[in-house]
């Protein structure tokens, strides 16, 4: 991994969706949820409204910054189409943070 980090990155890019879909299917999630995760990290035109579960997953991925964690580390997450989406849905972030903390508290006792 240290000798060929670009190869590791390539393998992750090529395999992470297939592994994720297999895992979600193995967990017995409904097909609609599994389908909504496919291409969740692929750039697409900015959304001004969320109309499907696929849109929810895509917007959530951008708001979480997950699409920049390892794949596009040298890209500004607030630039381009992801930046438009982050600004469009920025009002949701406080509520998301609050709900996340409530879930953490419930799970950790």
- The structure tokens listed for 43 are 């750039």
**Short-list 69, 54, 63, 58, CA closest to 95:** 63
User: How far is residue 45's CA from residue 33's CA, in Å, rounded to a whole number?
Assistant: 21
Contact in structure between 63 and 93 (CB atoms under 8 Å): yes
- The structure tokens listed for 77 are 């997450």
Contact in structure between 78 and 48 (CB atoms under 8 Å): no
User: How far is residue 8's CA from residue 66's CA, in Å, rounded to a whole number?
Assistant: 18
Q: What is the pLDDT of residues 37-80, one digit of tens each?
A: 998 877 777 788 899 999 999 888 888 876 655 565 666 767 77
Q: What is the pLDDT of residues 5-47, one digit of tens each?
A: 888 878 877 888 889 999 999 999 999 999 999 988 777 777 8
- The structure tokens listed for 89 are 């849905």
């Amino acid at each position: 991994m240290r000798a060929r980090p670009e190869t590791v990155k390539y393998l992750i890019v090529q395999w992470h969706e297939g592994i994720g879909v297999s895992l979600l299917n193995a967990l017995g999630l409904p097909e609609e949820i599994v389908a909504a995760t496919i291409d969740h990290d692929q750039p697409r035109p900015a959304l001004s409204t969320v109309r499907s579960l696929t849109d929810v997953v895509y917007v959530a991925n951008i708001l979480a910054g997950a699409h920049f964690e390892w794949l596009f580390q040298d890209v500004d997450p607030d630039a381009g189409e992801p930046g438009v989406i982050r600004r469009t849905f920025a009002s949701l972030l406080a509520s998301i943070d609050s709900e996340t903390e409530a879930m953490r508290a419930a799970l950790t006792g």
